[in-house]
Copies of this chain bind each other. A is one copy, B any other.
Amino acid sequence: MNTSPTKPTENVFLKGPAFHNTKAYAALHSAAKVPLDLTQEGTLTKKRVESMKAQGAGYTFLYGFERITEENMKSLFELAQERQVLAQMKAMQSGEMANFVEGCESEKRAVLHTAMRDIFEDSFAGKGKLVEEARALVIKEHEKLKKFIQKLDSDKKFSEMIFVGIGGSELGPKALYYGLSFLHRKDRKVHFICNVDPDDVALTLAKADLAKSLVVVISKSGTTLETATNEEFLRKEFTKNGLNPKDHFVAVTMPKTPMDDESRYLACFHIWDYVGGRYSATSMVGGILLSFGIGYNEYLELLRGAHEMDLVALKDNFTENLPLLSALLGVWNRNFLGYSTVAIIPYAQVLHRFPAHLQQCDMESNGKRIDRKGTPVPFETGPVIWGEPGTNAQHSFYQLIHQGTSTIPLEFISFAEAQGNLDFDWKGTTSQEKLLSNVLAQSIALATGQKSSNPNKVFPGNRPSSILLGKRLTPRALGSLLSFYEHKIAFQGFIWGINSFDQEGVQLGKVLADRMLNIFAAKRANKPAEAFDLGEALIAITQEVEKQP
């Protein structure tokens, strides 16, 4: 299907000491016994926050609120050196095989979501044959997409899109689409279907005008159970309404899958095996949605922003490499300070689904227990990622963050300006200023805490946070933001020495679900099912519940 990933003469993903055997690990482990105390008078100063600041791709990253000293930062940079993370990032972006576990059956693929946006300048040059090939394929898809969208614009047949996909094929594109809410075309509407729950399709059918609907079905393998079921469900409904699915359905899939079939689809767009589902938002998966609902040029701007951050992730100067800085601070919090979760809080309402996308992207990538050689790791890997927008979250779970028994590191995302052009001046400040005041105040409050003679008013402080600050959430800025997190995640995988690019952990559930389905199907067909006592017992319990009055 494609050129094989470059076989490196020396596999950079396997080089160097394991994470827990690095010299830096020992130094950090020892330093973490008495971490910096941010509650001490004179620690969290103007000077500190001004110096712990990095800039790139239009963003300013502030990390003075982390429990980290300059000395700790030095050790983290040494860790990055020892783990050769920059060489790994370069190898990944150059199409070397980055998706593998050595010595056992595993996916053996390149990881080239960065190639989906390496189309602007000569930065792809010298990156090897696969990147050049990917670039050519991407440009071909772009030509197809542009023509397709132009046709939609001129014949005006479709004013709605039903976007059918699950996991990586839904969360990222959806988060980006909502993230640019002010740019939505007013003459177009988008519906999302992901769950195999029949209610998900039924609710969309109640709202959508099928005759005017383009249905985009996304499945990299072309065989995802939920997506296939929902596609067939919709095809039946279209047919029932006298509409030919072939005139409405579009596929996004790998070449040669069962869905790559122009006899069944109005158009087929391609992704490739070196683009993981959770990293596919900048490929045609997101491309068709954003181009339809917002515009092709805005999609291109988003790619430009993502590409800019891809270049930042290649910076040798660690203090300018924003995703690496964030990755290292995350490792400090996870492995040395022992915090098991991370809350990502965008102070931007339009980013309300962005944490859910990062939850998938991070947890599916780094929720791993073996290293690149198949050995169980003796340290913690990916944390639980969760979050909701601020200021909303301040009225929800911040109580626990300030005064609970667990410490939760926070990653704030904030913008100097609103995305829309409407603001409200009241009591001497605008709403946007109120929003900014809150995110900045929270960083200080969490770090410094508060003493009080009333035990209920004591805030222990030392709750770390960082702020990623942008000017305004344009398509370009959103692309950079997405890429920032994609690379933060990849860097953490490189540091831990795990394979962040497969997802074997989802297989067992699928196998068992199939066995349960067989029981349901056998019951219906009045045939004996494969023996599975426990499964039958559980199904019997649900059927008893169903019979309740």
Among the listed B197, B384, B401, B456, which residue makes an inter-chain contact with A386, where contact means beta carbons less than 8 Å apart?
B384
Chain B residues within an 8 Å CB radius of A396: 167, 171, 356, 359-360, 363-364
Pick the most buried of A405, A469, A520: most chain B CB atoms within 10 A of its CB: A405
Any chain B CB within 8 A of the CB of A398? yes
Question: Which A residues between 417 and 453 are near B, CB-CB below 8 angstroms?
Answer: 417-424, 426-438, 440-445, 449-450
Any chain B CB within 8 A of the CB of A46? yes
* With contact pairs A428-B524, A437-B517, A508-B402 given, residues A181 and B199 touching in the complex (Cβ less than 8 Å): yes
Chain B residues within an 8 Å CB radius of A229: 424, 426, 431, 434
Among the listed B400, B421, B505, which residue makes an inter-chain contact with A367, where contact means beta carbons less than 8 Å apart?
B400
A197-B277 Cα distance, complex, nearest whole Å: 32
Number of interface residues of A (CB under 8 A): 161
Chain B min CB distance to A528 (Å): 14
Question: Which A residues between 434 and 480 are near B, CB-CB below 8 angstroms?
Answer: 434-438, 440-445, 449-450, 454-460, 469-471
Any chain B CB within 8 A of the CB of A516? yes
Q: Mark A233-245, 1 if CB is under 8 A from B, else 0.
A: 1001000000000
Identify which of A255-263, A279-287, A368-376 touches chain B: A368-376
Chain B residues within an 8 Å CB radius of A69: none
Question: Which A residues between 191 and 220 are near B, CB-CB below 8 angstroms?
Answer: 194-203, 205
Any chain B CB within 8 A of the CB of A391? yes
Any chain B CB within 8 A of the CB of A266? no
Chain B residues within an 8 Å CB radius of A420: 198-199, 202-203
Q: In the complex the two chains form, is B459's CB within 8 Å of A196's CB?
A: no
Any chain B CB within 8 A of the CB of A105? yes
Chain B min CB distance to A503 (Å): 5
A545-B440 Cα distance, complex, nearest whole Å: 14
Identify which of A24-32, A77-85, A133-141, A340-348 touches chain B: A340-348
Chain B min CB distance to A145 (Å): 25
Q: In the complex the two chains form, is A441's CB within 8 Å of B404's CB?
A: no
15 CB < 8 A contacts A-B: A166-B391, A166-B395, A195-B391, A196-B434, A197-B348, A198-B430, A232-B426, A340-B341, A385-B397, A394-B509, A399-B504, A429-B517, A437-B514, A440-B516, A444-B538
Any chain B CB within 8 A of the CB of A62? yes
A420-B376 Cα distance, complex, nearest whole Å: 45
* With contact pairs A49-B538, A508-B459 given, residues A380 and B405 touching in the complex (Cβ less than 8 Å): yes
Pick the most buried of A350, A420, A421, A542: most chain B CB atoms within 10 A of its CB: A542
Question: Which A residues between 487 and 536 are near B, CB-CB below 8 angstroms?
Answer: 502-509, 511-517, 520-521, 524-525, 533-536
* With contact pairs A455-B376, A520-B437 given, residues A197 and B45 touching in the complex (Cβ less than 8 Å): no
Which residue of the partner chain B has the closest CB to A389?
Answer: B195
A389-B192 Cα distance, complex, nearest whole Å: 14
Any chain B CB within 8 A of the CB of A324? no
Any chain B CB within 8 A of the CB of A264? no
Q: In the complex the two chains form, is A505's CB within 8 Å of B470's CB?
A: no
Chain B min CB distance to A101 (Å): 5
Among the listed B198, B419, B428, B533, which residue makes an inter-chain contact with A45, where contact means beta carbons less than 8 Å apart?
B533
Q: Give 3 nearest A-B pairs by CB, closest first.
A: A367-B400, A167-B395, A428-B521
Q: A374-B456, A381-B404 are in contact. List 8 more A-B contacts (CB 8 A).
A: A104-B456, A166-B395, A182-B199, A199-B418, A360-B395, A402-B508, A428-B517, A459-B508
A340-B348 Cα distance, complex, nearest whole Å: 28
Q: In the complex the two chains form, is B424's CB within 8 Å of A198's CB?
A: yes
Pick the most buried of A44, A105, A167, A430: most chain B CB atoms within 10 A of its CB: A167
Q: In the complex the two chains form, is A505's CB within 8 Å of B548's CB?
A: no
Q: In the complex the two chains form, is A505's CB within 8 Å of B105's CB?
A: no
Chain B residues within an 8 Å CB radius of A40: none
Chain B min CB distance to A505 (Å): 4
Chain B residues within an 8 Å CB radius of A298: none
A224-B381 Cα distance, complex, nearest whole Å: 40
Which residue of the partner chain B has the closest CB to A348?
Answer: B197
Which residue of the partner chain B has the closest CB to A421?
Answer: B202
Any chain B CB within 8 A of the CB of A161? no
